[in-house]
Amino acid sequence: RKIYYKILTLTTKMSYKSIGDTLGQTHATVIHALNNFDWDYNHIPAFKEAYDRVYHLYAKKDPHEGHGR
């Protein structure tokens, strides 16, 4: 979930409440996860690899996909 929260905060204008609502969580859960993101990214190689892989796949997505193009 932490990766999901981070990507949404970087790529959308969704509020923490809205992000939490998508997974049945509160805004406080989102804030807590984001507050711990940098430490995990810098100290847990597997987390860094997972985030980098997911973000790369997300960023590579065709923005016109699903719109009849």
Total-model pTM:
0.82
Asked if the model's pLDDT at residue 4 lies above 60, the reply is: yes
φ/ψ of residue 5, rounded to 5: -60, -45
Rounded Cα distance, 27 and 15, in Å: 8
Distance of CA 2 to the CA centre of its chain: 6
Q: 7-30, pLDDT tens digit by residue?
A: 999 999 999 999 999 999 999 999
